[in-house]
Amino acid sequence: MATNYREMSAAELLSLEPPGWGGALLDGLVVSLQVALLGYAIGIVIGLGGATLKRSGGPVARDLMSVYTTFVRAIPELVLILLAYFALPELLNNVLSVVGFGRIEINGFAAGVLVIGFVQGAYATEVFRGAIASVPVGHIEAAHSFGMHPLRIFHRITIPEMLPAAIPGLSNLWLIAAKDTALLAVVGFTELTLAARQASGATKHYFLFLLAAGGLYLMVTLVSAQLFKWLENRVSRGTRYA
């Protein structure tokens, strides 16, 4: 039975129950946030590793990191998504078939998390490198002279001291991650933007649903900006500003 969307009001169209498409939009939002959060977490891990390599790794490691950051910053995310979605599974399967394993599939979710993590990692490397450079060397040397283990120095001294400098950059990165998930719509992965597009296509109310998705994105970015502001205040307690 076809539903007559033409005569429904905006509230009915956006309602969470089936004739309305609000539920589909919210599902899309949840998927978007999951991809963004996972990608962001991977990016932070890569960033911490990358920054450490750039600061104290050998010359080869440092140059390789530069190649990585340069490439990621020059190639559009859309192209990287295509590479992860179409070329990478093919490559992996060719390698796996040589080794004698079965085929694997990379779905939209995995490709999205991979690409966003990969891109975020490059930018996070720069954020963390700058922030770690702002930690006074004397503090780290003092910890060394107490005989602290390097890992312990990292999580007791370096990380707490660099966070005030890193949070603004990390906040920006999170906003980029949240917005970059929209690009997955291009490979047909149903996140918020594609959900809105599907809803608008089915109901012919294009403007309403795309605007509603925009409102949801705006809500996410505004709320997270506030959270990061609170976080920044929290981690920079006791810091003196010149």
Binding site residues, other proteins, CB under 8 A: 59-60, 63-64, 71, 73-79, 82-83, 86-87, 90-91, 175, 179-183, 185-186, 193, 196-197, 200, 204, 206-207, 210-211, 213-214, 217-218, 221-222
* Furthest CA-CA distance within the chain: 77
Residues whose CB falls within 8 Å of the CB of residue 13, separated by 6 or more in sequence, listed in order: 5, 20, 21, 22, 203, 205, 208, 209
Query: What is the distance, to the nearest Å, from the Cα of residue 219 to the centroid of all Cα atoms in its chain?
Result: 17
Q: How far is the CB of 63 from other proteins (least distance, A)?
A: 6
- Using the CB atoms, write b or e for 209-224: b if 16+ within 10 Å: beebbeebbeebeeeb
- Using the CB atoms, write b or e for 110-143: b if 16+ within 10 Å: bbbbbbbbbbbbbbbbbbbbebbeebeeeebeeb
Q: How far is the CB of 211 from other proteins (least distance, A)?
A: 6
Nearer to other proteins among residue 72 and residue 235 (C-beta): 72
Nearer to other proteins among residue 30 and residue 222 (C-beta): 222
What one-character-per-residue DSSP string does 204-240 give? S-HHHHHHHHHHHHHHHHHHHHHHHHHHHHHHTTTPP
Q: How far is the CB of 197 from other proteins (least distance, A)?
A: 7
Q: How far is the CB of 20 from other proteins (least distance, A)?
A: 18
Q: How far is the CB of 36 from other proteins (least distance, A)?
A: 11
Query: DSSP E strands: which ranges in 68-176?
Result: none
Nearer to other proteins among residue 46 and residue 196 (C-beta): 196
Q: How far is the CB of 113 from other proteins (least distance, A)?
A: 17
